[in-house]
Amino acid sequence: MADVEEEEEECPVCIEPLQKDSTKFIRYVCCGKGIHKYCDMDIDESSLSQKQKDSCPLCRTTYPNAGEESVEQLRPWVEKGKAWAQSMLGQRYKNGDDVEQSYQQAKELFEMSASQGDAFAQYTLGNMYREGQGVDQSYERAVEYYEPAAMQGNARAQFNLGSRYALGQGVERSLVKAHEWWIKSAEQGNESAIANLQLLEPSFIPKPIECAFCYRPHDSKHKLRPCAGCRRVYYCGKKCQKEHWKRERNGHKKLCQGLCTPESEKAREAQEAHEAKKGGGGEEPKTTPGITSPHVTFRF
């Protein structure tokens, strides 16, 4: 069943729960353990030797030199029925990464993983049904998979589910429900969700829950700061902002300017004036409620 939820895992470094979105943490296929991306970054910045950094910090296995080695490490975990391994191998078959491309193989692996509640597998199956990749195209089936992934907190599933509501694809059209799901996605830094919400609410400022690059959660020790350009995407530090800016795929540099509109600039100036009055910033931005206009062209 697509609506099964994934079992919670803990990061062995900080002993905090791992995110449901597997793209937000590092999975070591050697030992099967996962750690937060920000914990992995802390290890890279530590005083460990380069040899130690080139090995799994948990089981000390040297990282594979080629993708084929990673695939061979994955297969035993797949045979053991591990949902995360089924999902990872399914993604490789979907994209043809170090295996012969096969939507059929990908679909079978994703279905096994999704039946165990893997949110990424649920999200990806939703995409496959939306696009008709190796399956009969069906928005209804796409929504069936997006919903459980979105409920588990997968930001991209939340955005895509909101988009289905905005377009009336597979569900009854509802900008209110689209708005609700895009808000949840925007809080995790999804820039397409932020852009669409700005079309609905020109003065919209997201209330972030985590860094847009390393996904470190906002707390008293790690206060998130906005991008100086768009003031819509938040980071826990300058390093994360620089890394996100220069990333080739979905890098912020390509999207930042698109988030800067005359309305958003007015909202930014108002926010800065509010912070100055409060004495130096640091206060979390507030989300503006309400929808101003349904007659806009959204980003999908």
Tell me, what's the pLDDT at 252? 86
Tell me, what's the pLDDT at 224? 87
Tell me, what's the pLDDT at 198? 86
Tell me, what's the pLDDT at 205? 81
For the segment 94-121, what is each residue's pLDDT rounded down to a tens digit? 999 999 999 999 999 999 999 999 999 9
Alpha carbons 141 and 138: distance in angstroms, whole number: 5
Tell me, what's the pLDDT at 222? 76
Alpha carbons 93 and 85: distance in angstroms, whole number: 12
For the segment 189-218, what is each residue's pLDDT rounded down to a tens digit? 898 998 899 888 877 888 888 888 898 888
Query: For the chain, which ranges sit under pLDDT 50?
Result: 1-2, 279-294
Interior/surface letters 152-186, b for 16+ CB within 10 angstroms, e for the rest: bbbbbbbbbbbbbbbeebbbeeebebbbebbbbbb
Tell me, what's the pLDDT at 297? 60
Tell me, what's the pLDDT at 289? 42
